[in-house]
Amino acid sequence: MDGAQIAIRMKDKRIGILFLTIFIDLLGFGIVIPNLSPITKSFAEISHVGFSPNVAVGLAAGVFSIIQFIFAPIFGSLSDRIGRRPIILGSIIANIIGYYLLGIAGSFWMLMVARIVSGFGSANIAAAQAYIADITPPQERAKRMGIIGAAFGLGFVFGPFIGGELYSMGELAGGQGLYYIGVFTAILCAVNFVLAWILLPESLVDKVSEYRKVSETFKGMVTVWRIEVIGELFLVSFIYTAAFSMMQTNASVLWDEKYHLKPNEIGYVFAMIGVFSAVVQGGLIGVFQKKLGIKKMLIWGCPMAAIGLTLIPLPPDATWFYPVQVIAVMFLAFANGLLMPSINSLVSLNAPPDAQGKILGLLQSMGSLARAIGPLVSGFLYDYYSSLPYFGGGILMMVAFVLALALSKSIKFDIRN
């Protein structure tokens, strides 16, 4: 075996370890999903926070994304200077602390502290994307960027189920549901840390020597919109993330109130979304790239998302719920599989080599901002008319479709396998 073959095998091994690291990280996130909202509401009622418990639920969800919004570009820029490995390892330690604090939380404000620390620890995806860009040739980046989406999908499949079971076991053990969730997830992140420490070497060869001030990083959030191609890609990504988060925020409420689904049945639907997303992003990205190319992946992902979002509230009753939802979920899974890897790949390909982490960090930060704004908008729309978050999301994605069409004319290259 010659040196080139050995290098290829080493890179493939690092991709596998990175996938495992991201999966464990996102599995911990998924474990919290089914129980966070009712626990937050209960704590808010007990703690007499001075505002509506429903507002408290939104605040607990929003603060996580706001912290990600602030720290993703900082971590991305810092990873260009000191390397990807220290950022990834440090963020895992923050998650260990955040989840343990969640487990021992006894009030709304302690829960908020736990969510802030976990948001800080979860601002590491940009460093992971930059790691992939470091070790992957341009023609394979869309496919390998898809592992992050696949890891999220799998975490979304297994996490809520495990979280529900843990909470039930904890409650049977004497009202320790939250403690079981927090401690188990902290242990999971500790295992993640050990694996990453042993098996994930540094990927960055040429580190940036100059120091970037935090103020310069935030100025980048403004100036990046002016960069040809990258600014438009940021806008398409922002619209899609906001539209999808609008759906996520109130879907469980809609399914409960309109279709009378039980909590475990709602979990099955979310699991179905995760399964389809993992299959598409983990196994079909290479096929899409070969048949369509990155530009068409970007273009056609938008109307697919519009169709999937619009279908969700359309079933007239419970009889039609599952047939329609299966179709909606398939459209959303294919949309996610087309859009996110193509956006991440095109941003990476158009970013300067010495600013991969910074630009990808800004992209993740904008995504966090969209996940903070989307739920807020969705709450107002749902309060007015229950179908509006989904119809509104569909309209937004058609706007993104027009933007993607215009952008495709400015992209002077396309990549196929």
What does the pLDDT look like over 358-409, one tens digit per residue?
Answer: 777 678 778 878 888 887 777 777 777 878 889 999 999 999 999 988 887 7
**With 60 as the cut, is the pLDDT of residue 208 above it?**
no
Instruction: Report d(CA 318, CA 322) in Å as an integer.
Output: 8
| Helix spans in 105-140 (H) | 108-121, 125-135
Amino acid 195: pLDDT = 84
Residue 367 lies in a domain: yes
Q: Are 364 and 68 in contact (CB under 8 A)?
A: yes
Amino acid 314: pLDDT = 92
Q: Tokens 């930060």 label which residue?
A: 365
- How many Cα neighbours within 13 Å face the side chain of 140? 12
Amino acid 395: pLDDT = 95
**With 80 as the cut, is the pLDDT of residue 352 above it?**
no
Q: Are 305 and 397 in contact (CB under 8 A)?
A: yes
Say if pTM beats, i.e. exceeds, 0.85. no
Amino acid 10: pLDDT = 46
Instruction: Report d(CA 230, CA 222) in Å as an integer.
Output: 12
Instruction: Report d(CA 58, CA 117) in Å as an integer.
Output: 17
Grouping H, G, I as helix, E, B as strand and the rest as coil, residue 195 is helix
For the chain, give the mean pLDDT. Answer: 79
Give the count of domains, the chain. 1
**With 90 as the cut, is the pLDDT of residue 310 above it?**
yes
Residue 247 lies in a domain: yes
What does the pLDDT look like over 327-343, one tens digit per residue?
Answer: 998 898 888 878 887 88
Residue 416 lies in a domain: no
Interval 107-135 mean pLDDT: 84
Amino acid 238: pLDDT = 92
Amino acid 142: pLDDT = 65
Amino acid 1: pLDDT = 45
**What is the DSSP track for 211-237?**
PPPHHHHHHHHHHGGGSTTHHHHHHHH
Residue 35 lies in a domain: yes
Amino acid 258: pLDDT = 84
Residue 222 lies in a domain: yes
- Pairwise pLDDT comparison (220 vs 57), residue with the higher score: 57
Interval 77-89 mean pLDDT: 85
Residue 204 lies in a domain: no
Residue 415 lies in a domain: no
Amino acid 239: pLDDT = 93
Confidence of residue 2 (pLDDT cuts 50, 70, 90): very low
Confidence of residue 7 (pLDDT cuts 50, 70, 90): very low
Query: By residue range, what is the domain housing residue 162?
Result: 3-197+211-408
Confidence of residue 100 (pLDDT cuts 50, 70, 90): very high
Residue 38 lies in a domain: yes
CATH for 173: 1.20.1250.20
Interval 25-54 mean pLDDT: 77
Amino acid 15: pLDDT = 77
Instruction: Report d(CA 145, CA 158) in Å as an integer.
Output: 21
Q: What percent of the chain has pLDDT over 70?
A: 81
Angle between helices 53-82 and 84-104 (to 10 degrees): 160
- Pairwise pLDDT comparison (66 vs 14), residue with the higher score: 66
What does the pLDDT look like over 130-188, one tens digit per residue?
Answer: 788 787 777 676 667 667 667 776 777 788 778 777 877 887 888 788 899 899 999 98
Biggest CA pair distance of the chain: 68
